[in-house]
Structure formats: structure tokens, C-alpha cells
Amino acid sequence: MIDFVQNTVDGIMFGSSYALLAIGFTIVFGVLRRINLAFGASIMLGAYAGTWLHVHYQVNVLVVALTTLVCTVLAGIYVERLCFRAIRRDAALASMVSSFVIWMQLEEAAVHLLPERTYAFPSFFVAGSFELGPFLFRGEQTTMLVLAALMVGALHLLLRHTRFGLALRAVSESPRAAAYMGIDTAWVMLCAFALVSLVGGVAGFAILATDEQITPFFGLWATFKGLIAMMLGGMGSLPGAVLGGLLLGVIEAHAQWYLGNEYKDLSAYLLLFAMLVLRPGGILGQRIHGREALAFRRV
Amino acid sequence: MDDYVITVLSNIGMISFVALSAYLLLLTGVISFGQQAYFGLGAYAAGAATAMLLLPIWAGILIGACVAGLMAALVGALTLRLRGLYFSISTLAFAEMVRLVLLIVEVQVEVDGELVGPAGAEGFHDIRWMFERDISLGEFMLLIYALLALVLVALLLIERSRLGSIFRMLGSDDLLADMQGLNVVGYRVLAAGLAGVLAGIGGALYAHFTTYVEPQFFNVMLGVHALAYGLIGGLGTAFGPLIGVAIDVGFLEAVRFIQGYRMIVFGGLVALLLIFMPRGLLDEERVHRLKARFRRRGDAHAAGS
């Protein structure tokens, strides 16, 4: 029982980083109805830029964090210009494939920056490890959880209580109607990309600072975890992304503990596949999915 | 031709099967990230048939194609309700499941005093059908291209037939197809199964060409590349994906001087291409125009004589 609770706690802690990645996918999907496969790679390029400074100039961890954020946002804007803005509205597939080749491109650029397989990433603690009854809370993971909670709270305020948030939600509801209302949709989309890149940069930095190392597989890993967490929770839904991320973390933690390391990813994919077959909308996205299905039936 | 050229050409041929598989599904309007799963299943099934059960290669390829096709049809039936991104992610999840299960599965039998069979993460070694019969790489390449030509002809025939129109109709509008009295469910499962068969043949050939398969080869990169090939080459004809493969693999080998910067150059080029031609080099419109031009020239000849 103690193991079970401890695993759940660990899962939630780690899942909070998945949640941030999922938010990146879900906001882009909500606004553009397209998937940005280059998301993980842009975070990776940002983190590599930060690590590069760290390796060559031994800069402070805060400079690394700042560089990671700035470069991730720049990479995100590059992806938006090339793969989304420039491609016709009716060619969603082309956007996806385009973001895929740009993923490969960014990844190769990152590997040119730092050609070896692993590099140390500076660690970043705020909280120390502490015990609460029989349970251990690791400091770096607690920091991550708090950071994720702060980010989600800030995003909620931004989306629900500012004019920009209103514009973003309007574009996500209907780009054309939003344009008629005088909203500069292209600008909103660019801002959405910059915003999710910022969230992704924070998530990437927090994850890497916990791992204390970075490898060229980070881009693929981040893209997959984010996508799975988003699908579990339901596409285009912010609470869904958070819930999906936490759920993914918990499932992985339990599978790893009870079944072994090689079942960790397998259980996550099995859960995802079962979820898609049985309840395609995800946990919280059912309503959206249902509405679309209803509209389809009515036509 | 030296072995190196033969290997490159054979790789182009074998990857083409996966590209065609992804292309067939694209025609019906769904995007699969998971065709590599059927490539992998075909490879393992065919390898098991020839190396463990000591069957001849044609039986191996047939078994590989059938296993992959049946599995694909089953997954197609399960994911029938899903569209768009939901479908894509479900295929991705399935493919990763297959890969991770193959990393765990260990089934070995003794053949001539040696253990043969899938050995988890170690992969499936000693699929030595080619060695045992002294078949050269060049001869096997001919087999690959003969099968590829056969498959291509079959696909081109399908595209000209009623079935091809039905697939394209499913691609543009499910509801419309339903209204026409078509069995949408049946045709979707059929398309998924056929796509699985294509990928399975490629996998069966791959297992025998390299004599060794490991689950790591069937990762998502193979699947997404297969998808990208169709889109680069064009969605208007079955030659499209082949052009895509040739551009990517051929480019990789031809432009040695940009080694290491390959993806930076290639990625940028493809991204630019997709801005101007979102449905690839040979899209439906261009194929239609080309066909019309050929037909007109043919008519002119006929009239002249």
C-alpha cells in the first residue's frame, strides 16, 4: 500500500512535466487545428543552446534557463512561419509533414552544436528532499510540480482573464468569425506559438535539470510524451492536458514498479490505444468529439 | 554494380513498399503513423517461416504478407470510428506497442543445433535463406524489384478500377460514399488490410536481405518517413511515393559533401516544396494534366496516320 501511494506521488510529480508538454500541443491544436510535430525538437534546440553556453563558458544556471527559453521561442516562431503560416489553410497534412521535416532539421542543428551523445545539464533545486510520514518527496521533483502548477495557473489567468486570452479563444472557436471581429488572427497564431514555446521551454528546462543530462533523444521523447498526454486528456482541452499528463505519469510509475522497466512505455501506449478505441475523445474531450459526431450525423 | 550500390538500390526498393502502404491509406483520407508495425510483423513472420519452420521463401513472403495484412485489417476494424489526428495517433500507439512487444518476445527453436528465433532486444538473427542457397545480393535485388513492379502494376490497376474510385471517394467524403450505397466499413477495413499486406511484403524481403531484424528498425521514424515520401512525391499517382523514396534515399547517398548537414538541407527543401505544392510533386491536378497531354499526343498520332 505504501508502495502504491509512493508510486502515485512519484507519478504525479513526473506527470506534471508531461502536462506542460501536453499543454503545448493542445493550445496549438486548439488554435490551428493542426499538430506541431516539431514541438519537442524546438525545445531540444533551445536546451542545446543553453547547454552549449554551459559547456563552453560555464555560465550560471539562470543564464542557461534564459537561453533555453529564448532559443525555444525563436525556434517555435521559425516553425510557425515555415510550416504553418506559409502553408495554405486547407492543407493540414502538408503542415504536419512539414513540421516533421523541420523536426529533423532542428534536431540535426542541435547535434551539430554539441556532437556528443550526452552532456551534463546544470541542476536546479529550490526545495530539498523531505519525508512526510513514510513517503519521500524528492526535491527536484517537488520543484517541478510547483513550477508546473504555477505555469498552469498563469496560463489559466492569461486565457480566461485577459484580452489576449479572449482573442486566442475566439480564434480557436472560429478563425473567420474572429477575423470579422477585428482580431488579427495571424498575430494571435504567432503569439500562441511563442506562448507554447515558452511553456515548452520551461518544461524542457525543468525536466533536463531533474535528469541532469541531455541526449539527442530528448526531442523525440518530449514530442511523444506530450502527444500521448494530450490524447489521453482530450485534444484542445487545457484541463484535459493537465489530467492526461498526470495520468500518464502515474500509469508509467506503477507499470515500472510492478511490471518492470520494459513495460513502462508499453503500458502507456496500451492505455492510449484502448482509450482511442473505446473513448476516442479522451477523458475530458468527449464533449467536443461528441459535438462533432453529432454535426456529422446531422448533415 | 558493387555491393554498396546494390544495397542502396535494394533499400530504396524495400522502403518503397512501406511508402506505398502509407500512400494507399492516404488515398482513403486517413494518415497512418504506424505502417512500420506491419513492416516489422511481416519481417518477423517471414523470418520465422523460413528460419524456424524451414519453409521456402515464397511461403515466407506469403506468410509475412498475410500476418501483416490480417493484423492491419483487425486494427483497421478497431479504429474505424477514428478520423484525422485520432486515427494517426492510434496507429502510432499500435506500432509502438508492436515494437515494444517484439523487444520482449523470446521464442527460439533449435535448428541444426543452433537456437534460432526472435530474442527480444537482441533481435532475430540468422535468417540465412539467402546464404544457404548461395543467392547473391544482386539476384535478391532483382526479386525485390520484380515484386515491387508487380505491386505497382496492381496498385495502378486498382487506381484505374472502380475500387480505386471508391478509395478516393472515401478520401474526400465518407458520408457521400455512404449515400452512394457503398459499404464504407468494409472498404475501410479492406484498404487497411491491403496497406498492411504491402508493408508486410516489404518487411519479409527486408528480413531476408539483411538476414537480421531488430525491433529498433521499425521505430516511428520509418513510419513518418514513409508518410512523408507520399507527400513529397505526390498524392496523384502510385509513382509519387517512389519518387519520394528515391529523392530521400538517393539524395542521402548522392550528396556526400553535405554529409552531416543532410537533414538541414533536405528538411528545408521539403518544407519549401510543401509551401508551393502542398500535395506533393505529382499531385492529382498535375497527374491529370500530364495524362491529358499524353492522350492528346496519342490522338494526334492516330489522326496523322
C-alpha triplet B138, B142, B147: angle, nearest 5°: 150
Q: How many domains would you assign to chain B?
A: 1
Give the residue with greater pLDDT, B84 vs B7. B7
Give the residue with greater pLDDT, A50 vs B125. A50
In a 3-state reduction of DSSP, which class is residue B106? strand
How large is the average pLDDT for residues B20-24?
91
Instruction: Give the residue among A259, A200, A264, A263 at the shortest CA–CA distance from A227.
Output: A200
Residue B203 has pLDDT above 60, yes or no: yes
How large is the average pLDDT for residues A270-280?
85
Does the beta carbon of A29 lie under 8 angstroms from any beta carbon of chain B? yes
| pLDDT number for residue B304 | 56
Phi and psi for A213 in degrees, rounded to 5?
-155, 160
How large is the average pLDDT for residues A221-250?
88
% residues pLDDT > 70 (chain A): 92
Question: Cβ neighbours of residue B158 under 8 Å, at least 6 residues apart?
Answer: B164, B167
Residue B244 pLDDT grade (very low, low, confident, very high; cuts 50, 70, 90): confident
| pLDDT number for residue A222 | 92
Place of cell 542457397: B133
Does the beta carbon of A28 lie under 8 angstroms from any beta carbon of chain B? no
Residue B294 pLDDT grade (very low, low, confident, very high; cuts 50, 70, 90): confident
Interface confidence (ipTM) of the complex: 0.82
Residue A154 has pLDDT above 90, yes or no: yes
How large is the average pLDDT for residues B225-250?
84
| pLDDT number for residue A210 | 85
In a 3-state reduction of DSSP, which class is residue A120? strand
Residue A299 has pLDDT above 50, yes or no: no
Sequence ranges of the domains in chain A: 2-298
Domain covering A2-298 assigned CATH 3.30.1330 in the classification: no
Q: Which of B89, B94, B104 comes nearest A227 by C-beta?
A: B89
Does the beta carbon of A113 lie under 8 angstroms from any beta carbon of chain B? no
Please give, rounded to a whole number of angstroms, the shortest distance from the CA of A135 to a CA of chain B.
Answer: 32
Cβ contacts of B97 on chain A, cutoff 8 Å = 266, 269-270, 273
Provide the b/e sequence for B269-299 (b: ≥16 CB within 10 Å). ebbebbbebbbbbbbeebbeeeeeeeeeeee
* Nearest chain B residue to A298, by CA: B175
| pLDDT number for residue A292 | 56
Half-sphere exposure of B41 (CA within 13 A, CB side): 26
| pLDDT number for residue A126 | 66
Residue B121 pLDDT grade (very low, low, confident, very high; cuts 50, 70, 90): confident
Residue A185 has pLDDT above 70, yes or no: yes
Does the beta carbon of A259 lie under 8 angstroms from any beta carbon of chain B? no
Q: Which of A91, A262, A273 comes nearest B104 by C-beta?
A: A262
State how far the Cα of A51 lies from the Cα of A114, in Å rounded to an integer: 8
| pLDDT number for residue B225 | 83
Cβ contacts of B26 on chain A, cutoff 8 Å = 93
* Nearest chain B residue to A35, by CA: B85
A29, B97: Cβ pair inside 8 Å? Answer: no
Cβ contacts of A104 on chain B, cutoff 8 Å = 263, 266-267
Hey, which residues 45-104 in chain A have their CB within 8 Å of chain B? 82-83, 86-88, 91, 93-98, 100-102, 104
Cβ contacts of A276 on chain B, cutoff 8 Å = 79, 82, 86, 89-90, 93
| pLDDT number for residue A289 | 54
Cβ contacts of B78 on chain A, cutoff 8 Å = 277
In a 3-state reduction of DSSP, which class is residue A144? helix
Provide the b/e sequence for B92-115 (b: ≥16 CB within 10 Å). bbbbbbbbbebbeeeeeeeeeeee
Place of cell 495554405: A88
A262, B227: Cβ pair inside 8 Å? Answer: no
How large is the average pLDDT for residues B89-107?
88
Q: Which of A91, A224, A265 comes nearest B278 by C-beta?
A: A91
Q: Which of B101, B175, B267 comes nearest A266 by C-beta?
A: B101
Q: Which helix (H) or strand (E) holds A130?
A: strand A130-132
Rg of chain A (C-alpha set)? 19
% residues pLDDT > 70 (chain B): 95
Question: Cβ neighbours of residue A283 under 8 Å, at least 6 residues apart?
Answer: A232, A233, A234, A240, A243, A244, A247
* pLDDT tens-digit series, residues A125-135: 666 777 777 77
B278, A87: Cβ pair inside 8 Å? Answer: yes
Among A86-100, B9-23, B160-174, B177-191, the range scoring the smallest mean pLDDT is A86-100
A102, B271: Cβ pair inside 8 Å? Answer: yes
* pLDDT tens-digit series, residues B162-182: 998 888 888 888 788 888 888
* pLDDT tens-digit series, residues B211-229: 888 888 888 878 888 888 8
| pLDDT number for residue A19 | 93
Distance of CA A231 to CAs A55, A181, A227, B252, Å?
36, 31, 6, 34
How large is the average pLDDT for residues B70-98?
88
Residue A284 pLDDT grade (very low, low, confident, very high; cuts 50, 70, 90): low
Cβ contacts of B105 on chain A, cutoff 8 Å = none
B31, A88: Cβ pair inside 8 Å? Answer: no
Cβ contacts of A86 on chain B, cutoff 8 Å = 275
State how far the Cα of A262 lies from the Cα of A260, in Å rounded to an integer: 6
Q: Which of B231, B271, B279 comes nearest A83 by C-beta?
A: B271
Residue B258 has pLDDT above 70, yes or no: no
Mean pLDDT in chain A? 85
Q: Which of A40-54, A209-223, A270-284, B289-303 has the highest mean pLDDT?
A: A40-54
| pLDDT number for residue A293 | 54
| pLDDT number for residue B75 | 93
CATH of the domain at B119: 1.10.3470
Domain range for B269 is 3-304
| pLDDT number for residue B76 | 92
| pLDDT number for residue A298 | 43
* Nearest chain A residue to B264, by CA: A105
Please give, rounded to a whole number of angstroms, the shortest distance from the CA of B271 to a CA of chain A.
Answer: 5
* pLDDT tens-digit series, residues B260-283: 777 787 788 888 888 888 888 888
| pLDDT number for residue A66 | 93
Mutant choice from A93, A294, A296 vs B, greatest count of B C-beta within 10 A? A93
Mean pLDDT in chain B? 85
Place of cell 475566439: A170
Please give, rounded to a whole number of angstroms, the shortest distance from the CA of A64 to a CA of chain B.
Answer: 25
